[in-house]
């Protein structure tokens, strides 16, 4: 009974903390699409063809990223287990790059190579800027405490 009460209390605390720091994925995704469209100078027709394929790539990568994240949390007990974890980590990173390469080839069928290049650069810039923005927000919250 005590364990159940503790579990409910911890769950409630996690929900309260999560409510204050909610990540709005739909807003993030909309901003990403807008940013890439503008920076890569995509027409509406190009964007309409490109983003469904791009989203498909991201979904496949997300599955691999999630597994990579789980792999990082593993606490091996032996040298052999450390090797296994490291090898799996490398395999996952290679798989992520293979998915990326596969989809870049699909992008070439939709967009000119220059625009694919611009999309890749824009995506990278967007993520860096979003990370900087997040760090500033966290810094402001920490300074208020």
Residue-wise pLDDT for 125-138, tens only, equals: 999 998 888 888 87
- pLDDT confidence band for 20 (50 / 70 / 90): low
For 96, residues 6+ apart whose C-beta sits below 8 A from its C-beta are 61, 64, 65, 68
The whole-angstrom separation of Cα 133 and Cα 124 is 14
CA distance 90 to 68: 9
Residue 19 pLDDT greater than 50, yes or no:
no
Model pLDDT, residue 78:
94
Q: Tell which wins on pLDDT, 144 or 31.
A: 31
Q: Work out the percent of the chain whose per-residue pLDDT is above 70.
A: 85
pLDDT of residue 40: 96
Name the nearest CA neighbour of 107 among 29, 41, 55, 59.
55
Distance CA 107, CA 117 (A): 10
Name every residue whose Cβ is closer than 8 Å to that of residue 130 and which is 6 or more positions away in sequence. Answer: 28, 31
User: What value does the mean pLDDT take over residues 14-19?
Assistant: 46
């Amino acid at each position: 009974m005590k364990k159940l009460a503790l579990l409910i209390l911890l769950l409630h605390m996690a929900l309260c903390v999560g409510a204050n720091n909610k990540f709005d994925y739909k807003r993030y995704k909309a901003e990403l699409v807008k940013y890439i469209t503008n920076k890569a100078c995509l027409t509406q027709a190009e964007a309409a063809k490109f983003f469904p394929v791009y989203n498909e790539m991201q979904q496949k990568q997300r599955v691999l990223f999630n597994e990579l994240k789980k792999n990082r949390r593993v606490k091996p007990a032996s040298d052999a287990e450390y090797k296994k974890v490291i090898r799996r980590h490398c395999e996952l990173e290679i798989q992520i790059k293979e998915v990326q390469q596969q989809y870049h080839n699909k992008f070439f069928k939709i967009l000119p190579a220059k625009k694919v290049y611009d999309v890749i650069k824009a995506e990278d810039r967007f993520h860096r800027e979003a990370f900087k923005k997040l760090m500033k927000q966290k810094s402001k919250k920490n300074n208020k405490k």
